[in-house]
Structure 1
């Protein structure tokens, strides 16, 4: 198939938009942590841009999109063998496809950092995301998009299962393994700078248009569908979160509105090109309510999800994946159009992914703890990871 210039330009622009989400994530997470951990938190996002980009072109792309088998791709494209400037995937150069998919591989493990900030050695975090990318992200990506056993079965337009269910449920697994932060439940662990968080939320929403609409891999009508649903769902979710919080807690907060934006973006991701804008509204509303409840209940359940990586990405990803099976009407049919089987396929994909990601994440955490160590000492946690892990401070005043 011949290369289409418009499609190529759109995918390249979308790739850049997705990479912009990493600084957006760094700001979002960085503003939510204590002052002593802001650089450490932001480094978790930025270092993923280096580690995962190299890992992706060396072996990750091949494991995800190589021929392989039902479980994982082969090694025929390791070090991008067999791909040259004239290789074509669909209507775009294969290099453009590699880059676009690589952006997803970069941001997915970085999302997990929101659950573990202030608790993990930096060298161990680097090892964790590298291993997690190879053992969790690449195989699940192959299952859903690369010709594995869920390809053509479970609908996932832009990464509800591949990105958000994997990272969200892995966040829950690793934070339970690590235990709570010192002072959790009785000391003040309030965000140090919510202005950074709000700016980060805006950049994430901006970049998410490339994340979702770029997944059409063409400048066409499906990209336009994904583009508008990416506007509508987070708008509905953020307003819903704000309204629920207003009724429940008495005041609408900035952090609540920003969290609602993220919940809506996460939930619409698997459905973006499969549903209409009017269906995106209830998806946003439902995800806003469910994610708010997930964040509120963590205190009662006693787990320390520092920045609500599981409450927003895990719960939002599961919600969006299942609702895709309900509302799908563009290029696929869901429950509301008389196809209950699609909802069952969505559930199957979610459950399998959850079990696999949890098992792998716990194994990775265990191996790292027994070898190079994983959690920082109590004294390092008290001092803050900016000083103990990086020898720097974010503010000199």
Structure 2
């Protein structure tokens, strides 16, 4: 009998379907940053609305340029010491072919890099919610540039880059529980421990000024998160992306309901802010876990995260740190919960054959998840605090107290979010609004 002829596996070919799918997913993830801006913008007081919007929007500009110049190379280039990547051909993105494929996949490198860019943009924007009302816009812009360079790009390599230590260890993070949410939540905690509390924290009412804006932002985040999560499989050929899509919806619904039930029992009401916050907590928690768990597991992940995050948001009053919009309570806690629960609920029937404790796999994966979670948490917390300390001692991180009390929108942007005078919302409006008062005062002096 003639020996069997073994044919080499065919090299992947560009898939128009997967390419189109990933471009749509990239656009959905981009939409999440304006959605986050509305979510945060509605949660602050009127006098801080524009500043909150701008703290998210500026990330779209800064991180995009850094990603082109060197960020993509640092995050996904050739590994060095399991800590950082580098590929000089990717600096400036000038030496990438139009149809050059991302290794092992059927999408172009350009599609992969723009999808990952949207993750890099929203991660520092998440931090901004903890710093509402009190940070100089120039200092925040510089912080984004420094933080993306020394924290996000290296951590993204650890978690997703070939050769990164967490990737090689087998830490599961489908779409960013560690690299995005724990990273941003820990950074937020590090910065607020340095810059301190808002004027009037725990004394003055600091209620959301526009719950409709909060709900709009939450809806945009929920919508965009399908691209964030399902797109992270980088294709749509084997059903894993579809499983992630389903689990994203299921866990978010479970978390929202769990938060509302906890809120009703604890505080006596079902609030719209609770519904929005619960939904985001579920989205955060399922982000690392959704490719590894079943839909029933997603319900468990969402429900647990909804309750624990609802409990966690009150810790700032107990321990005295001013996490303005609950970035620590939702993103850090939700990211930790979702990442660790993989070690319990991984079914072995999704993205890999890894099984968690409840499926007979023991605690092996749980300990791997712990390694990834606490390494990212510790690194981001410490480095972010150091960056904030340096900026605070050099250029100053906070606006003057008088500007904070009067309103950071007017002080930093020469605008206001709403036209209460009928004369417009910018610096010209301020002049127009004060002119009649000045004229009246002048007549009294003349008299």
Q: TM-score range by the shorter chain?
A: over 0.9
**Distance in 2 (alpha carbons) for counterparts of 1:218 and 1:86:** 16
Could you tell which deviates more after superposition, 96-105 or 318-327?
Answer: 318-327
Deviation, 1:81, is 4.5
Please state if 1:120 is matched with 2:142.
no
Q: Can you list the C-alpha shifts for 1:47-96, whole angstroms capped at 9, x where unaligned?
A: 11111111111111000000031100114222125312121011101000
Counterpart position of 2:92: 79
Q: TM-score, normalised by structure 2?
A: 0.88
Counterpart position of 2:202: 185
**Distance in 2 (alpha carbons) for counterparts of 1:319 and 1:382:** 36
Could you tell which deviates more after superposition, 67-76 or 108-117?
Answer: 67-76
Give secondary structure in 2 for the equivalent of 1:189: coil
1:180-329 aligned within 5 A: 180-220=197-237, 221-329=239-347
**Distance in 1 (alpha carbons) for counterparts of 2:179 and 2:357:** 22
**Distance in 1 (alpha carbons) for counterparts of 2:196 and 2:395:** 18
Structure 2 portions without partners, runs of 5+: 1-11, 421-447
Give secondary structure in 1 for the equivalent of 2:13: coil
Matched residues, number:
397
Q: Which has the larger radius of gyration?
A: 2
Deviation, 1:119, is 1.0
Give secondary structure in 1 for the equivalent of 2:396: coil
Please state if 1:140 is matched with 2:158.
no
Give secondary structure in 1 for the equivalent of 2:199: coil
**Distance in 1 (alpha carbons) for counterparts of 2:184 and 2:63:** 14
**Distance in 2 (alpha carbons) for counterparts of 1:374 and 1:135:** 19
Structure 1 portions without partners, runs of 5+: none
Cα pair 2:42 2:214 within 8 Å, conserved:
yes
**Distance in 1 (alpha carbons) for counterparts of 2:212 and 2:15:** 41
Cα pair 2:195 2:398 within 8 Å, conserved:
yes
1:50-129 aligned within 5 A: 50-69=61-80, 70-76=82-88, 77-89=90-102, 90-129=105-144
Q: TM-score, normalised by structure 1?
A: 0.98
CA RMSD of aligned residues (A): 0.9
Superposition misfits of 4+ residues, deviation over 3 angstroms: none
Counterpart position of 1:3: 14
Counterpart position of 1:365: 388
Please state if 1:151 is matched with 2:151.
no
Cα pair 1:155 1:325 within 8 Å, conserved:
no
Please state if 1:338 is matched with 2:355.
no
Deviation, 1:142, is 0.2
Q: Can you list the C-alpha shifts for 1:366-388, whole angstroms capped at 9, x where unaligned?
A: 11112221111101111111100
Counterpart position of 2:442: none
Give secondary structure in 2 for the equivalent of 1:269: helix
**Distance in 2 (alpha carbons) for counterparts of 1:63 and 1:186:** 44
Determine which of 162, 168, 174 is the counterpart of 2:185.
Answer: 168
Q: Can you list the C-alpha shifts for 1:10-58, whole angstroms capped at 9, x where unaligned?
A: 1100000000001110110000001000000000111111111111111
Give secondary structure in 2 for the equivalent of 1:304: coil
